[in-house]
């Protein structure tokens, strides 16, 4: 065995097999003649049969080996890209996420008067902050009228009609609120990011309503699907970063380190649980072991959720169920339903396969068809949906 550069040359065994199987396929003949074009393609120049020394043979072996490696990489990349582009992003999964984000904003606008959302101050005067990008609440000074326009847009988004038109308007409404309002809770910024990244997906959607089941005519071209999938991938990366930062930042605080943070949060007079729940949490969290486990479970779950981007789909389902349960608990115990709805929508885009729609079936006892929706965890009659 002789080492030549970074390749190994065997005088009688391995190299001979490579020579017979691969070198001749390239048009390089070992004998009295040489295919100059084939050898030049490998950067070897002209090699004369038996007079070719071991170094030249080793160079050819290295060239063939490199070609094999590059070929395998190319095949792997082609399969990956083909599998990625073969997915259909134009399903009711991204439509459901859009509608949930819109529902979150709709609840905030309907259930809160304008003077609560836009608190007047000496700095802002009317309570509306005007950013460099025109905000709906700055273009229309009357916050009541602006609220009505925003509500109409959000209702249109929930209905799913014309996503190509409502998606940019949805982003403007979400951005305008998080940029101009004074009462924010964190989910507003995430809603603005989601709606912005969903604009290309919605514009490329060939359907007139994002709730319509996808047929063969609704798949769109390969370039449409690839572009939409890339923006959905950006949302998934964004979600992973959000959970990673949230989980790691908590361990930098003393209350999260010693395992008492959840006790203080749930019993906080402003941000904590309502009075009818506070007694239950005081009883459950009075033990040091329980409160420590509950406190540490939150950042650990967030860090696991951040790494879920690298998991197989079965693992993503488990993380999705756990993280959605956590957000439901936040909505119930801390009174943040709007924030929780935005995060649940983000979780669906992050952990649920976008090409696996929520399926519908229509069956009743009498034989008449009535609508019902499955989350996708159970197998349904495939006749209800044909991709």
Q: What is the mean pLDDT of residues 345-359?
A: 89
pTM score > 0.75 for this model?
no
Res. 199: pLDDT tops 90 = yes
For residues 274 and 38, the model is more confident at 274
Q: Which residue has the higher pLDDT, 275 or 234?
A: 234
Question: Phi/psi of residue 237, each to 5°?
Answer: -65, -40
181 secondary structure, DSSP code: -
Number of Cβ within 10 Å of residue 204's Cβ equals 20
Reply yes or no on whether the pLDDT at 379 is more than 60. no
Closest residue by Cα to residue 362 from 385, 346, 336: 385
**Confidence band of 237 (pLDDT split at 50, 70, 90):** very high
C-alpha dihedral, 110 to 350 to 326 to 358, nearest 10°: 70
Instruction: Please give the residue that has the higher pLDDT: either 332 or 124.
Output: 332
Output the pLDDT for position 71.
64
Task: Flag whether pLDDT at 181 surpasses 80.
Answer: yes
CA-closest candidate to residue 352, choices 302, 307, 313, 310: 313
Q: How confident is the model at residue 65 (pLDDT cuts 50, 70, 90)?
A: low
Q: Does position 52 have pLDDT exceeding 60, yes or no? A: no
pLDDT band for 90, please (50, 70, 90 cuts): confident
The pLDDT of residue 332 = 84
169-180 mean pLDDT: 92
Given a cut of 80, whether residue 338 has pLDDT beyond it is: yes
Does residue 365 register a pLDDT over 80? Answer: no
Q: What is the pLDDT of residue 364?
A: 41
The CA distance from 341 to 102, in Å, is: 9
**Backbone φ, ψ for residue 8 (5° rounding):** -110, 135
Q: How far is CA 147 from CA 16, 106, 108, 117, 151, in A?
A: 79, 10, 10, 10, 6
Mean pLDDT of 251-262: 84
pLDDT, residue 284, reads: 73
**Rounded CA separation 10/62 (Å):** 12
Residue range 112-157, pLDDT digits in tens: 888 788 877 766 567 777 887 888 888 888 878 888 999 999 999 9
Q: What is the mean pLDDT of residues 71-92?
A: 68
DSSP 33-76: ---HHHHHHTT-----GGG--HHHHHHHHHHHHHHHHHHHHHHH
For tokens 């486990």, what's the residue? 293
19 versus 111: the higher-pLDDT residue is 111
The three state secondary structure string of 246-264 is HHHHHCCCHHHHCCCHHHH
pLDDT score at 302: 93
- Give the long-range contacts of residues 6-13, CB within 8 A, separation 24 or more: 6/62, 7/58, 7/61, 7/62, 7/65, 9/54, 9/57, 9/58, 9/61, 11/54
Confidence (pLDDT) at 155:
96
């Amino acid at each position: 065995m002789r080492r030549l550069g970074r390749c190994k040359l065997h005088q009688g065994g391995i190299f001979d097999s490579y020579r017979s199987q691969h070198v001749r396929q390239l048009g390089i003949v070992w004998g009295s003649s040489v295919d100059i074009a084939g050898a030049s393609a490998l950067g070897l120049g002209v090699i004369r049969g038996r007079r070719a020394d071991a170094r030249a043979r080793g160079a050819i072996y290295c060239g063939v080996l490199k070609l094999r490696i590059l070929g395998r990489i190319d095949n792997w990349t082609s399969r990956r890209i083909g599998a990625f582009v073969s997915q259909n992003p134009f399903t009711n999964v991204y439509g459901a996420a859009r509608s949930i984000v819109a529902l979150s904003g709709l609840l905030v606008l309907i259930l809160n008067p304008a003077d609560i959302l836009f608190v007047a101050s000496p700095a802002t005067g009317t309570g509306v902050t005007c950013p460099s990008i025109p905000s709906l609440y700055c273009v229309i000074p009357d916050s009541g009228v602006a609220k009505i326009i925003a509500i109409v847009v959000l209702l249109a988004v929930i209905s799913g009609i014309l996503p190509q038109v409502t998606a940019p308007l949805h982003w403007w409404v979400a951005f305008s609120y998080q940029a101009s309002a004074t009462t924010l809770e964190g989910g507003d910024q995430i809603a603005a990011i989601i709606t912005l990244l969903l604009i290309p997906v919605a514009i490329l959607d060939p359907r007139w309503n994002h709730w319509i089941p996808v047929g063969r005519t609704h798949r769109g071209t390969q370039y449409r699907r690839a572009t939409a999938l890339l923006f959905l991938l950006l949302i998934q990366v964004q979600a992973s970063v959000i959970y990673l930062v949230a989980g790691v930042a908590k361990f930098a605080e003393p209350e999260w380190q010693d395992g008492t943070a959840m006790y203080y949060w749930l019993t906080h007079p402003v941000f904590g649980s309502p009075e009818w729940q506070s007694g239950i949490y005081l009883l459950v969290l009075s033990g040091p072991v329980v409160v420590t486990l509950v406190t540490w479970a939150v950042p650990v779950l967030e860090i696991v959720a951040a790494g879920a981007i690298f998991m197989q789909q079965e693992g993503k389902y488990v993380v999705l169920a756990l993280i959605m349960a956590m957000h439901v608990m936040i909505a119930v115990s801390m009174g943040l339903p709007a924030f929780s709805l935005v995060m649940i929508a983000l979780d669906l885009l992050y952990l649920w396969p976008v090409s696996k729609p929520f399926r519908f079936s229509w069956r009743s006892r009498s034989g008449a068809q009535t609508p019902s929706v499955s989350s996708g965890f159970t197998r349904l009659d495939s006749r209800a949906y044909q991709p």
